[in-house]
Amino acid sequence: EDQVTQSPEALRLQEGESSSLNCSYTVSGLRGLFWYRQDPGKGPEFLFTLYSAGEEKEKERLKATLTKKESFLHITAPKPEDSATYLCAVQKGGSEKLVFGKGTKLTVNP
């Protein structure tokens, strides 16, 4: 069965304190790994798609990387507005549905 595990469940950082979020996955025939950001009571907002091991993508203070077993979301010098829940999801070949992890709730204190 496809599984996605995110760690830690919650993370508190001081503004400017860089860190990484982890997403471990088990899926046969990975088609894509997706990162979303979700603010309380709102819909997930698309951040990145990664397709193959070794791939990296960046957007502002965020950088996503992918290996054969996990993905990392690196946050460099975070700001309070980066506070949100970050969701990881996988999509397997032959299917369009996303299988989500439970997310990492990030709080960045000023």
Partner 1 sequence: DSGVTQTPKHLITATGQRVTLRCSPRSGDLSVYWYQQSLDQGLQFLIQYYNGEERAKGNILERFSAQQFPDLHSELNLSSLELGDSALYFCASSQQQTSTDTQYFGPGTRLTVL
Residues of this chain that interact with partner 1 (CB under 8 A) are 31-32, 34, 36, 41-46, 49, 87, 89, 91, 95-103
Length of the chain: 110
Q: Please say whether the beta carbons of 2 and 98 come within 8 A.
A: no
Q: DSSP code of 18?
A: -
Q: Please say whether the beta carbons of 25 and 71 come within 8 A.
A: yes
19 vs 38 by CB, closer to partner 1:
38
24 vs 76 by CB, closer to partner 1:
24
> CB neighbours (10 Å) of residue 103?
21
Q: Least Å distance between CB 89 and partner 1?
A: 8
Q: Least Å distance between CB 87 and partner 1?
A: 7
27 vs 99 by CB, closer to partner 1:
99
Give Cα 97 to chain centroid, integer Å.
Answer: 17
Q: Least Å distance between CB 105 and partner 1?
A: 12
Q: Least Å distance between CB 44 and partner 1?
A: 5
